[in-house]
Every structure is written in structure tokens, then in C-alpha cells.
């Protein structure tokens, strides 16, 4: 988890944003340590919720208001298929996190959902 946290921290720090979005960037950096703590505690339903929020903010920092549009995944796919696939995945995390089955599914399934995104971002 340390490698992931360090890479994501660096990715966020190196992302150029408008002056008005500096606070968003700082807030996102502040969410990383608590997110890692939730994962290490094994609370995967909560970790999914936090991961979805982190991905939403990260997409906003990268793409601005375009990331909040309904066709964002399609837009990202046109830019680069592998990046688009990842942002599509991020959008799916946000639909899964509130699903009724999340509390009843085997925790290893939720952990696997997190690991997919973590592995991708670690190598971003």
C-alpha cells in the first residue's frame, strides 16, 4: 500500500491545475492516508466509497468539468482507450459502492475491485 500511496500522492502533486482548484488538489491529498487506513482495516465497502470519491476528484483534476458530464467515459476512450477504460471502471465503482449487495458479498470480491484500480493507478 505504501507504493500505491506514494505514487498517487506524486501523481496528484504533479498534476497542473488552475489556481482556483488548488484547494481541491490539497483536499484530495489529505484523503489518501485515511483511505489507506480504511483498506488496511479491511473495511472494503467503506474503502470502495472512498475510492470512488477519490477517482471522481482525480478525474476532475485531470479533465476539469468534462469529467462530470454523462459522456465522460466515451470522451476519455476517444483520447486514449486504456485511460478511457480506467475512467469507465471508475464510474462503475461509483455505481457498485451503493448497491445493496455490497454488504453481503464476500469481502475478497470487494478487495479485488479495489485492487484493479489500485494496480492501475500505481502504474499510471
- pLDDT tens-digit profile, the chain (124 residues): 788 888 899 989 998 888 988 999 999 999 999 999 999 999 999 999 999 999 999 999 999 999 999 999 999 999 999 989 999 998 888 888 777 788 788 889 999 999 999 988 887 7
Q: Rounded to the nearest 5°, which phi and psi values hold at 42?
A: 90, 15
Neighbours of 52 (CB within 10 A): 20
Delimit the domains of the chain by residue range: 2-122
What is the per-residue pLDDT for 122? 81
Enter the C-alpha cell of residue 30.
489529505
Amino acid at each position: 500500500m505504501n507504493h500505491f500511496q506514494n505514487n498517487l500522492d506524486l501523481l496528484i502533486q504533479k498534476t497542473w491545475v488552475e489556481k482556483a482548484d488548488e484547494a481541491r488538489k490539497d483536499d484530495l491529498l489529505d484523503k489518501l492516508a485515511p483511505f489507506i487506513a480504511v483498506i488496511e482495516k479491511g473495511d472494503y465497502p467503506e474503502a470502495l466509497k472512498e475510492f470512488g470519491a477519490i477517482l471522481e476528484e482525480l478525474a476532475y483534476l485531470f479533465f476539469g468539468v468534462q469529467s462530470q458530464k454523462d459522456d465522460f467515459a466515451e470522451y476519455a476512450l476517444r483520447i486514449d482507450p486504456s485511460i478511457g477504460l480506467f475512467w469507465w471502471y471508475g464510474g462503475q465503482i461509483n455505481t457498485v459502492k451503493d448497491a445493496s449487495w455490497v454488504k453481503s458479498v464476500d469481502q475478497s470480491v470487494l478487495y479485488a475491485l479495489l485492487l484493479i484500480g489500485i494496480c492501475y493507478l500505481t502504474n499510471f
